[in-house]
Amino acid sequence: MAIFTRINGDAYGVVNVDAGRYPSGNTYPINTGIAAPLVAYKVTLAAGTPSGAYGNLAAELTTGGAVETMLRYIEGNATILAYQVDAGTSGAAQLSVLVERSGWASDTALQTFIGTGAGQFTPAIGGNIGATGNIWVSSNSITVSSAGGLKLA
């Protein structure tokens, strides 16, 4: 059996490709095949928003639906690689998005941008972006976080 002994290198992120070299991989996605830093955003819509309960987020995968609308806002400053929708019909709904080359200054900046609807809605009041049901989005009814990194459970 052949044995390979590494003589240099490590399992840290690649210089000039990943977001930097971290002392551990804790909460930082390290990419091995994508030549850009990765960020995983979790967009959570609160149940019972100020303007009323939201509808089924999974039903909003249609053209012009809430999922497409939120993805358009996110891709204004990032390249979307993948996303996942959790319907959340009895609790908070969630849109998980994996992006590369994110230009969003912070999670709060993205949260405000989605909440204001690119200038269409005021942040506190928000608006209904749903195509098949009510999906009320405002800065008070959503939370954006990239702190958890890339989780599969």
Return per-residue pLDDT of the chain as tens, 153 residues.
677 666 666 666 666 566 555 555 566 677 767 777 888 999 888 765 444 446 578 888 888 888 898 999 999 999 999 999 887 655 678 889 999 889 999 999 998 888 877 446 555 566 777 777 777 777 777 889 988 777 765
pTM above 0.85, yes or no: no
Q: What CATH class has 38-145? A: alpha beta
How is the chain split into domains, by residue range? 38-145
The phi-psi region of residue 88 (left if phi > 0; otherwise alpha if psi is between -120 and 50; otherwise beta) is: left
